[in-house]
Amino acid sequence: MVQQQRSPVTEADGPHLALVPTSVSSVTERGRLKDTPANRALRPETTPQPLFEDSRLVDESVYADEHCVLLQGDVKERLRLLIDIGLRVDCIVTSPPYYGQRDYGLKGQLGLEDHPSAFIDNLVEVFGLCREVLRETGSLWINIGDTYWSGKGAHKSQEVKQGARRFGIRPQDRPGDGLWARPKQLLLIPHRLAITLQDSGWLIRNDNVWVKPNPVPDQVRDRCSVSHEYVFHLTNSRYYYFNRLPVGREMPSGSVLPPLDTWEVETSNGSGGGHKASFSEELVRIPILASTPPGGIVLDPFNGSGTSTIFARAHGFRSIGIDLSREYCEHAAEALGHLDAAFATESVEDHDELSEPGDD
């Protein structure tokens, strides 16, 4: 990771403190930064606005303005569209469907593959396309939970009521292979996915632990209740943009240390536009604020309720959201509209306050 330090900050710098090289050798004789991977990570290029508003992208969108684009459809097809246009993003933060947890009733959905290996293969293909969209200096953040294999077959007696609310028989309720997929087995999907991504060329920087102070109670008697998930941080290369200042821990001396890799965040209350597994806004705070340079673009390829795109918009970044469900895209668009309306109201109130005549 690129080492960073504070530089003198002017009003023009705004909330983003400037990041400067720590080595004199990275500067030319004229005082300009040399074009090196390390220096490109300090001050990444960002996608020009005309490319963000390319008609090929806007015409395919459910919603589009100068700040955000929402695309409905198969995630692989939509990522290929971004690749074909030549659009590059700075931060990808997402939570793909968990294996065997939800049936969204949509053709082409991930998470219902017969075997967990097929699920991981599909995710690796998706994130391989993400890698082509992600800038050399960008970061990918993946939140994913685990699954136990039950092998118990179809739901019976009192289990029918609870099980039927999701779907008839889940992949993990099938007999399995007797090895990896066998009854009571914790599948270790997050780490198997991470290792496979690592083998495909990704650089893994952290396996951050999301600790839930309010977990859904486990109906089990012979193991500990699960109260955590993982948020993996991956990069394209060893040189990438990471600004610890907005998310770090300020010391009494005034120095700022990076955030810890254990995050205590309450689970979402499930009010994310009807989405059954909505993202917590606090969970995307560190990824987006640390990994997105001023003027950068945030991408969520499994946008769901739109938490990532909404948070990015609220903090002055551009964003792109992709989801298989048109309904969820429309809910996210509605939420973005509410946010813009709130911004407009604040702007009018600020203007009125400045316009009030003073006392004579």
pLDDT tens digits, one per residue of 311-354: 999 999 999 999 999 999 999 999 999 888 887 776 545 545 55
Domain assignment of residue 153, yes or no: no
User: Is 18 among the domain residues?
Assistant: no
Domain count, the chain: 1
The crossing angle, in degrees rounded to 10, of helices 116-133 and 75-85 is 20
Q: Is the dihedral of CA 210, 211, 215, 219 positive or negative?
A: positive
- Give the integer Cα–Cα distance in Å for 184 and 91: 36
Among the ranges given (123-132, 147-156, 196-205), the one the predictor scored with the smallest mean pLDDT = 147-156
Region 153-180: mean pLDDT is: 60
Instruction: Give the tens place of pLDDT for each residue, 298-313.
Output: 999 999 999 999 999 9
The pLDDT-based confidence of 252 (bands split at 50, 70, 90) is very high
Q: Is 264 strand, coil or helix?
A: strand
Q: Is residue 249 part of a domain?
A: yes
Cα separation, 115 vs 92, whole angstroms: 27
Residue type, 344: A
- Domain assignment present for 210: yes
- Res 90 pLDDT > 80: yes
What is the overall mean pLDDT for the chain? 84
Q: Are 119 and 196 in contact (CB under 8 A)?
A: no
165 vs 154: which has the higher pLDDT: 154
- Amino acid identity of residue 136, one-letter, is E
**pLDDT score, position 356:** 55
Domain residue limits at 191 = 48-147+187-353
Residue whose pair of structure tokens reads 């939509």 in the numeric block: 78
Residue 159 vs residue 191, higher pLDDT: 191
Q: Which are the contacts of 115, defined by CB distance < 8 A and separation ≥ 6?
A: 171, 177, 181
What would the two tokens of residue 6 be?
A: 């504070």
Question: Within 10 Å of residue 78's Cβ, how many Cβ atoms?
Answer: 22
Q: What is the CA radius of gyration of the chain?
A: 22
Q: Is there a domain that residue 268 lies in? A: yes
Q: What is residue 217's three-state secondary structure?
A: coil
Q: How confident is the model at residue 12 (pLDDT cuts 50, 70, 90)?
A: very low
The set of residues, in sequence order, having a beta carbon less than 8 Å from that of 56 and lying 6+ positions away, is: 81, 84, 85
Inside any domain, residue 360: no
Dihedral of CA 52/55/60/66: which sign?
A: positive
**End-to-end Cα distance, the chain:** 58
What the block records as the tokens of 87 is 């659009």
- Is 168 part of any domain? no
Record the pTM: 0.83
> What count of Cα atoms within 13 Å lies in the side-chain half-sphere of residue 51?
14
Across the range 124-144, mean pLDDT stands at: 98
Q: Is residue 320 part of a domain?
A: yes
At 261-298, the pLDDT tens digits run 999 999 876 545 554 556 789 999 999 999 999 999 99
- Domain holding 68: CATH number? 3.40.50.150
